[in-house]
Structure formats: structure tokens, C-alpha cells
Structure 1
Amino acid sequence: MSICDSISVEESSGITFLQVDNAFATSRISLFGAHVLSFVPKSDNVDRLWLSPHAFLNGERPIRGGIPICWPWFADNHGREKGELPAHGFLRTQTWQIQSSEDTEAGTRIVLTPNFSRGEGFEYDCQVSYEILVGEQLSVTLKTENTGIVPFTFNAALHSYFAVESIGKTEITGIEGEYKDKLEDWAIKPTPSPYVFSGETDRIHQHAAPDVTIDVENTALTRVTSMGHDSIVVWNPWQGAASIADMDAFGYRHMLCIETSVTNGVTIEPDHAHSITQIVTPL
């Protein structure tokens, strides 16, 4: 298959990387996990995504940072004992294939597919594709199509790590209602206002916010637009980062996860499909 002009291909430590460079932005994508690692708009040359300096980039384990794909379950919500199946599913540890790529007026469009979408813990017939558009915005869409004869239910997330200069000076807007707090045995709490950070955060917001804005030092940096989701997950490990093997002990100061998620389950009938989309817009 031919690759469009804005993409160059690199091989390193057994992983194939796509380097996108067009009139609007640059981006680096790992075919291991269909993992977008960076998005740098040429308008300000500021990477909107955070990648751990200790991330494994050799295929040994999922990549810490960028935009990991969670599918067909979120976290350990797979119906079995914790650890019996891989957290966040089995797409993020596969090598994906390029189905198509093209240079368009809006930017570079890439469509990727996994080697398999049926595995232990999810034994249904379906087809998964991932469309990436690198332009003035970064748009990623995960599409799941039911190709079988029975309906199935799944969860998913675009587990994006956003770069911030200082988490202590970061505020997000756009989320309302209540959230489930993982750190307090899933207690239901109201969304804080202002939404700032002073400690470990692990929340599933039940409000499917269409737009969340990241402000750093009262300056709008990034807007995160979501579609096809039922919740927004917000996560920062704070000092718990010291116990994460592929994360610097102080890395939490410069990242914030805002995840376009399906955590309450979506059911797809035969011959139907469902997509979740996240659009990252520099402000």
C-alpha cells in the first residue's frame, strides 16, 4: 500500500511509527496500539499531548501517554477477577494495519485496523477501525461495527493524556453534574467549581460533556470535544506517580487525562455501528 506524501515511516525497537508533517501540524503515531503520541500545531508549536519519558516504546507493554485506546472494556470492568484479563482491553497492545491514508484540504487522514477484535472476554463478531485526522485540529474516531447475528454490549475510551505546564495552575471547564469517585469507593459527588487540582484525582463524570476546556494560568490552551460517549473520565495520579513504573515521580505535574468514554455500556445490534470521537482543538 502506498503512503501519502505527508507521512514518513520509521522503525524502532520493533515498532513502526508514522511521522505526520503537513501544513497544519506534526504528529507521531505508533502502529503498536494505534497510539497517537503527539500533536503539535504549527500555529504555536506546543504539543497538546503528554508522553511519559519512561514510556515503553518497544511493544513490551502499553504506552504511557498520548492517546491509548481502551476497548472492549474500561479499566477492569470485564466481568472477571481483577488481573485475569488485561486492563482496558486488548486493542492497545496489538500492532495495527494501515488501511488507507490521504492528504486532504483538512489535513492528513489515516485509517487503521487491528489484527483482531475478537478475543478472550469478548467473543463477538465485529469490525473495528480507527480514523485519525491531523490538521488544525486532531480528530480521532473509534468505530465498532457489529458484523455478527447477535447484539453485544461494550465499553471504550480514548484515554488522552494532555500536556499542561503546571497541574497546580490548571483548571477545566465544561463539566457539570455528578461524578463517581474511584478513590472513595465510588461515592457520588458533585462536580467541583472551580474545577482545579490539588491531589490525586480519579473520577467518572456521568455528564457527557460535549466540550471541556483546559485552562493553564487563566489562559485557554486546549478544547476537548467529545461525541458518541456517555461519560468523561478525569485522572491525575498525583504523588502516586512515584509507584508507576513507566512514569516519572513528578510527571503528574505536567499531565492531565481527560477521557472521552463509554463506561455505562453501549449495545450494538447486528449490522449497526457505534463511534466515539474526540477532537483536540488548540486555543
Structure 2
Amino acid sequence: MPSVNSVTVSENNGLTFLEINNKSASARVSLFGGHVLSYIPKADNQERLWVSPHAYLNGERPIRGGIPVCWPWFSESHGHEKGALPAHGFLRTQVWKLIHSQETDEGTTVELAPNFTRAEGFEYDCNVRLVIYVGLTLEVSLITENTGVVPFTYNCALHTYFHVNHINTTLLKGIEGDYEDKVDSMSIKSTPSPYNISGETDRIHLKAIESVIIEVDGVDTTEVNSRGNDSLVVWNPWQGAASISDMDAFGYKHMICVESTITQGKSLKPGEQHALTQTVVPI
């Protein structure tokens, strides 16, 4: 059980949730998947994250929306045939455990750990922790530590779905350089300017972009900061949402994924650790 007053536990459909409520913000975290589902700063009471109304919140499938944890591979980059292993790894379908909680005048921190980190496709000894801070900002750190005797390489992501009023009036600022276009056979292309979304989008931006501003209806609403990343992914399925079972046909109009990612491989020697961190800053 949490040891701080700002964290309570709720259960629904067999899942356990941490409800975080302090003077600065509220948030909801599912222990299934170690998955942040909501972040509402009290300064403006505007939800920053998007969860599909058709998301499976019963443990049958990974949750569509919020901040899915992808580890130890991103997408299908697991070295096997496509579909042979779960996309985005095996942490997002585990029930995580709460191992620490703390609160200060500034905010609330909870620390989670998965039940196991060794499975088909990744058979190395390591520890993984997810540290979530809820305050004037939302900070999520995915920490990987090599506890074995041999080095290993992994990929990971904080696959964050942001809520927007409408995708047609949404712009991204701060992204530059080349990207791999997964919609167009991994072609290398230059980042558009202005950066708006007008069709199916699945782009791996090939540099450690530290800061992105989400502008909605002409107003800057959210800053997305990344640390420990080697890339940044932008995703919106557009009308392809109609073929995704846990999205409605028009859900794409109200979300944009801006993902802090390691897609080019992070190597850890025995005893080393690395943190991939995303900070959501309300503007």
C-alpha cells in the first residue's frame, strides 16, 4: 500500500490503479503495464494525455493511450520475424508492483518495478524501474540497470499519447533534421516546417531532440522534454484508426503521439544503468 496521503488505490475490472492527487495536479497510473493514464495540472484543469474510449482496461490487451512503456525493443525490432514476439516488448502487459512512494510540498513520486525483465527475445540479467513524478510537471523515467556479467543492447520508448482539441489545428515546434518514414518504406526525409499532421504519420526522427512544443488552436499548451533518448517518434494513424480495434474511427482527430525513444540501440556494460526520461510541462 502507498505510504503517502496523496496516493490512493482503486480497482476496476480486475486492474489496480494508483490515484495521485496533490495541490499541483492529479494523475492516474495503472499497475497493469506500469501505465500513466492521466495527468491534469490544477493550474488549468486540462487533461494532457489521451486514452482511447475503446481501450482495454481489463488486462486482456495493452492499454491504448496514456504513456505505454516499450521495452526492451521498439515496435517489431526484436530480431525475429514480425509478429513472432509482442510489439514494443513484454513490460506493457505485466502487472507492475509499487516499490516506493514519497511526497513533498512540490509533488508526489511513485516508483514501480515489473515482475520480470527476462523473457524470449531478451535473456539478460537486469533491473528495470519506472519513476513517476506528479507535480507542476509530469516526469516519467524508465531506468534500466545491467545486473549481469555481460553487456547487452536494448531499445525502449515512452510512447506518450497527448490530447489535442483537433489534429487539424495542432502544430509541433522544435523538431528538425531527417526522419525515417515508416509509412513510406523507411525513406529518409526532411522534417516539414511548419510541422502539422495532414495524413497517416509514423516518423522516427533520428536525433536526440530535447524539447518539443505542442501548439493547439494557435496557443502553446505543452512542452515535451526528453533526456537519455537518441530519437523522437511522432505518430498519428489518421483514418487508419478505423482498422484499429481499440480506437474509434475518429479518435485520431484528438491525439498526437510524441514519443521519447531509444531506437538505435543503447548498450550497457555490467553495472551500468541508463534512464530514458520524458517531462510533460504545461504552458
CA distance in structure 2 between the aligned counterparts of 1:111 and 1:94, rounded to whole angstroms: 15
For residue 71 of structure 1, what is the aligned residue in structure 2? Answer: 71
> What SS does structure 2 have at the residue aligned with 1:253?
helix
**How far has the Cα of 1:79 moved from its partner?**
0.3
For residue 205 of structure 1, what is the aligned residue in structure 2? Answer: 205
How many equivalent residue pairs?
A: 283
Change (3 A) 1:2 1:238: closer
1:6-30 superposed Cα distances (whole Å, 9 cap, x missing partner): 0110111111001111000000100
Using structure 1 for the length normalisation, give the TM-score: 0.99
1:28-68 superposed Cα distances (whole Å, 9 cap, x missing partner): 10000000000000000000000000000000000000000
CA distance in structure 2 between the aligned counterparts of 1:112 and 1:35, rounded to whole angstroms: 10
Identical counterparts, % of pairs = 59
Q: In the alignment, is residue 188 of structure 1 matched against residue 188 of structure 2?
A: yes
8 A contact 1:34–1:96 mirrored in 2: yes
For residue 110 of structure 1, what is the aligned residue in structure 2? Answer: 110
* Unpaired runs of at least 5, structure 2: none
CA distance in structure 2 between the aligned counterparts of 1:18 and 1:271, rounded to whole angstroms: 31
For residue 147 of structure 1, what is the aligned residue in structure 2? Answer: 147
Q: Show structure 1 runs of 4+ deviating over 3 A.
A: none
* Unpaired runs of at least 5, structure 1: none
- The amino acid that maps onto 1:95 is V
CA distance in structure 2 between the aligned counterparts of 1:208 and 1:266, rounded to whole angstroms: 13
Matches within 5 A, 1:29-68: 29-68=29-68
1:220-252 superposed Cα distances (whole Å, 9 cap, x missing partner): 010000000000000000000000000010000
For residue 83 of structure 2, what is the aligned residue in structure 1? Answer: 83
- The amino acid that maps onto 1:140 is V
Q: In the alignment, is residue 279 of structure 1 matched against residue 269 of structure 2?
A: no
CA distance in structure 1 between the aligned counterparts of 2:157 and 2:106, rounded to whole angstroms: 25
8 A contact 1:242–1:250 mirrored in 2: yes
> What SS does structure 1 have at the residue aligned with 2:8?
strand
1:123-162 superposed Cα distances (whole Å, 9 cap, x missing partner): 0000000000000000000000000000000000000000
Matches within 5 A, 1:197-236: 197-236=197-236
CA distance in structure 2 between the aligned counterparts of 1:184 and 1:34, rounded to whole angstroms: 32
Using structure 2 for the length normalisation, give the TM-score: 0.99
8 A contact 1:52–1:251 mirrored in 2: yes
For residue 165 of structure 1, what is the aligned residue in structure 2? Answer: 165
Matches within 5 A, 1:125-140: 125-140=125-140
**How far has the Cα of 1:106 moved from its partner?**
2.3
- The amino acid that maps onto 1:261 is T
8 A contact 1:175–1:207 mirrored in 2: no
